[in-house]
Amino acid sequence: QERERLEWQSMLASVLSGDVLKSEKTRIAVALDSLGDEQNNFHQSIWLGVRAKFHGRSVEEERMKLEERRVRTVDAVIGEIMNFRAIRNEEDNGKDMTTSALQQVTAVLQRLEVVQSLYPNLKAFYLDKPIAAEGPFQARCDTLNTWSTVLVSLKHHFDLLRRWTGSDTLDVNQPNTSHEVPIATHGASKSGSQLADGTSFVERLLKEESMQRTFEKGFLVTVHSFLGSVRDAQVNLSPLFREMNLPTFENQLVPLISFPTKLAQAGLRLRLDYVQKLKDPDMLIIDQMTEDLKLSIGLACTLKRQYEAFLAPDPGGNWNLPQCISEDYDLTILEALTNLFKLIHWKLKSGAKGVYFKETDVLEAQWATFNDVSLTAGGSSLVAEQLCSLTNKLMVRVTNYFDTQVRRKMSDEQIISWYGKILDSVRLRYRKLQRFARVLTQRFSNSAEYSIEDVPLDHFISLLILSDHFLVYTHSLEEDGVYVVASNTLFDRPESIRQILTQAFHVDEITNEDGTRASYVLVLSPQTHFLWNGRVMVLDIPKVQLDMKDGRVRLVADGPQRRLGLSKQAFKESLEPMDEDGESLLEPMTLTCLNDVQAHLPSVNRELRKIARATNRLAESTVDSVHHVRSSLRAANGCQELLGNWYLFASEHGQHAHRYMDRSSLLKFNRLLIKLAISWVSFICDDCDPTDRKTFKWAVNALEFTLHRTRRNILHLPDEQFEMLRHKVASCMTLLISHFDILGARSTLEARKEKEKQEELMKSQVSKIHLDEEEDFSFPRQRDAAFIDSSTRLFWERMSGAIHQLDDARAITGLKHRTLGKVLDDEKPEDRSLVFLASSSSNISMRWQQGRFIGAGAFGSVYLAVNLDSGSLMAVKEIKFQELSGLPNLYSQIKDELSVMEMLHHPNVVEYYGIEVHRDKVYIFEEYCQGGSLAALLEHGRIEDEAIIQVYTMQMLEGLAYLHSRGIVHRDIKPDNILLDHLGVIKFVDFGAAKILAKNQRSIQRSRRAPDISVNGLANVNGLAVMSNGLTGTPMYMSPEIIKNDKRGRHGAMDIWSLGCVVLEFATGKKPWSNLDNEWAIMFHIGVATQHPPLPEPGQLSEVGISFIKQCLTIDPMKRPTATELMEHRWMLEFREALL
């Protein structure tokens, strides 16, 4: 079978290699070539025919014309490209070389294009002129095309940036660079005229979105990728650029490269100016500015790293840009970081509930920013100093709080609860701060210090040279008598030497210790001169304050903890040189270590020592406080468990602090711990119940602690102290013996008794439960919305949370899809109306910055904003004009309504600041209310405290009385339109204008402008000016006269009805008419109703309060009392008297 296969394969090979197949292959190939030539000739004929037809010639005439032009131009153009070299002509004296070269390149490329147009395709061109297909010609053509494309693209990007910034020099801080927004009019003579905005480009940019989003999207991303392409082109094509005398792109690129960093720096500077103006800011402002600064600092650091890598020179010398980043760029970043720490300190010392137990969490949340800044020159030392300083302040604050609160005087009833709260709070804060302080100490401690006062210096230097250390000549430290010697592992890493000496810590720490050799730097401060005859590295290092004392050597490792340990071990081995046989080459040397672990920068080390002192003081206060607490609780009953926990806390943290305490503080602290041990054993013997099992547990802990503390100090105890300790320990051992259970007999008996006790307890509880159930069935509960089953409440809380998340996601998605505005055209009526709206006296142009997104609705988006001039918070509504068609008639009514809002100034009415009108959007500025709406408050149930209801009702009455006195009726009073500020003060708000702008359609909640307009521009109802007319408001809060369109009624009567409905909802937690199915059913019921909605049950509100609601819900609007009359109601008078 194998032979048969081999014969078959041999036969196949002979057929394929035979003459017959070869001749047939040749014949078919010739036939195919001829067919291809025919097709090619066919295509050329078509091209020639079309060309002849286009020029109005015959085909033969066109062929002759082409041949003549090819002979006359093609070789000349190819020769021109092969010999092209840009030159400066005499007529180009007024132009720079780049412009002149671009004209020459464009001209020769146009001639090449004309030559290539004489052929049907490039293949025909290359067949006719083989030199054009060769590498040199192709390379020159590609170079000319690339050079020309880059310059044209540069000009295009410059034009885009000039239009975007409004500045010919791309100056982002130049004022009056906007010719479009905002629209403003001044005086009747200039009605409709537009004035340029006086703000700078960066100020306008921060109004609309964060700097982070500006850099993450669109144009600036395109610029960055384009600059990378330019660098690649210049580096790769530089030889041909020089050969053809084409100017490089460096000078043209400098403004474009510097623009992103200038923009980031300007945004950072603007925020810094605002932060420096703050005085006693609100917590919300602190949080907002902290987030803004953090993002701006991170962006500035990221841009610097990107562009420093981009500006790095090419090894071949083909890319050498001048410095494009501002000289004070790093200083701005460091100043911003200092102010960030200032904001964080304000937040931490505010004492806010959300911060009290999360101080270290606030600091740890900023680590990414700290790491970013640490890569900046001088950043790591600033981060280390500020972090340590802030941690020290926190330690001191906790210690002072502990010392003062433990010694507060109070009654016996209060003292147990108070000490329990202090113990819980300080224990949690203490542990977190201790852990954070330990992390900082470990992160920043990267050096050790030795003494060389008593050792021969020449021998020490000889040992260093023998172990291949090398001298680093810095040009700065030597003048102070300080010299730098580095380990041999750093000889080819000069930048690492600079980082080790100048940086307080390294962001990219070495985590994989295996196989990584120790790298360290020795800083010598000898008392005498020495001769170095080993290797030397010359490295410019800026002067660093090291505060070296004479006769010292400071070892600075390339990292903390294990890296420092490896470096110390390597340094020790270098002072004990051995040959291959283990014989000493020179006499070994041992240096005295003065400080095992420290930070090599004195400024950081000082702060670490402060933290250590604060930690020691807190530990001493904790241990020493037990004696005061015990004496304070001696007269109180039931305090044994609290004291036991206090002793346990003091002992645990005392031992923990003992492990990290320096030698100078140990002696004093040991005495405190021994005193604590004696006090703890005394407490067990004297104050605790010997039959309680907890006493046994406490006794074991106390004895173990006593043994541990006296193990090495037993001989140092005074005789009196030792005698007391021995006596108390003996008593404690007696207590322990009494609890011992031999063979489990005692535990079995006690277990049986305990089981019987538990059974009796369960029987009594079961009987009580049955009794309660019978009472529930016998006496049904009244309608009380305050009772809700716990599982039901948890379910609705989960559902509400999910719905809120969905709303937030929808709002964010809607925010991302922004639309472009439109240019005003005076010929269009809607544009004329927009200018008319801009002529409002409340149209302002202020310096403000957009903050976080608050919410969105059908009418637009609401953001938190900061007034950069006053430092106050605002709520800004951004309303975009999606469709202007059909809106012109509504602009005037918006202006009227805003004019009404502009007149209102009252503590219970939201303050309106003004509007800023743009072509594609309108910003409405109002007072920001941190407390949210009453509707959000009522989602959690009714208000059970009647005094709170009275407070809110009184404030609403005062607000309505003010509105009605100004001739204004709100007509849409409901919980959604009532906000609370940060102090809990009621504020009426009106969203009518926003809804008009967003939606031009007739609905239940629609235009508030009446068809009947009075002289003062306000609508009239019953001869009185109001804010609205028509079917306006939410049905369940509407008064009967609104539904029936009855014009009768006292001024503001409809608002009083709505007020009664809101107070009703306060008391019951349910909306009025909540028993009806839908809004139309409610409207029908109100229209034909002869009675008010169901009133609260007597258990929900007092009789006087129910009487007040009845007065508000009087059916006849002529008999319904006014806000002023209701303020004299007995319910309100009693409340005023209670306040007095």
Active-site residue numbers? Answer: 972
Q: Structure tokens of 883?
A: 């469709």
Supply angle C-alpha 242, 246, 250, rounded to 5.
95
The torsion angle over the Cα atoms of residues 844, 848, 849 and 850, rounded to 10 degrees, is: -30
Q: Structure tokens of 270?
A: 């603007």
Cis peptide before 829 (omega within 30 of 0): no
H helices present in 181-318, as ranges: 201-208, 211-216, 219-243, 250-277, 283-311
Q: Is 877 annotated as a binding residue?
A: yes
DSSP-derived letter for residue 185 is -
C-alpha closest to that of 1113 among 1088, 1132, 1089, 1135: 1089
Type of residue found at 89: N
Question: Would the CA dihedral through 1123, 1127, 1130, 1132 be positive or negative?
Answer: positive
State whether residue 247 is helix, strand or coil. coil
Rounded to an integer, what distance in angstroms lies between the CA atom of residue 70 and that of residue 50? Answer: 18
* Stretch (H or E) spanning 988: strand 986-988
Rounded to an integer, what distance in angstroms lies between the CA atom of residue 285 and that of residue 278? Answer: 9
Q: Structure tokens of 905?
A: 């100034």
Question: Would the CA dihedral through 859, 860, 864, 870 be positive or negative?
Answer: negative
Rounded to an integer, what distance in angstroms lies between the CA atom of residue 195 and that of residue 835? Answer: 12
Rounded to an integer, what distance in angstroms lies between the CA atom of residue 317 and that of residue 314? Answer: 5
Residue 567's φ and ψ, nearest 5 degrees, are: -65, -40
- Decide if 44 contacts 124 (C-beta within 8 A): yes
Q: How many CB atoms lie within 10 A of CB 284?
A: 16
Rounded to an integer, what distance in angstroms lies between the CA atom of residue 794 and that of residue 771? Answer: 28
* Stretch (H or E) spanning 441: helix 412-444
Rounded to an integer, what distance in angstroms lies between the CA atom of residue 319 and that of residue 230? Answer: 10
Q: Which residues pair with 554 in a beta bridge?
A: 449, 523
Type of residue found at 1068: T
Q: How many CB atoms lie within 10 A of CB 705?
A: 22
**Positions of E strands within 756-808:** none
Q: What is the side-by-side order of every strand in the sheet holding 520-525?
A: 536-538, 470-473, 483-486, 520-525, 552-557, 447-451, 592-598
The residues, ordered by sequence, that sit 6+ positions from 112 with a Cβ below 8 Å of its Cβ are 77, 81, 141
- Decide if 484 contacts 522 (C-beta within 8 A): yes
CA–chain centroid gap for 297, Å, is 10
Residues in the chain: 1140
Radius of gyration of the chain (CA): 43
C-alpha closest to that of 865 among 828, 916, 827: 916
- CA 64 to each of CA 61, 119, 350: distance values in angstroms, whole numbers, following the listed order: 5, 13, 93
The residues, ordered by sequence, that sit 6+ positions from 468 with a Cβ below 8 Å of its Cβ are 488, 534, 535
Q: Structure tokens of 96?
A: 């720079």
State whether residue 912 is helix, strand or coil. strand
Question: Exposed (0-12), middle (13-18) or buried (19+): which is 335, by Cβ within 10 Å?
Answer: middle
- Decide if 1035 contacts 1081 (C-beta within 8 A): no
- CA 705 to each of CA 437, 619, 657: distance values in angstroms, whole numbers, following the listed order: 25, 16, 14
Q: Write out the binding residues for ATP.
A: 877
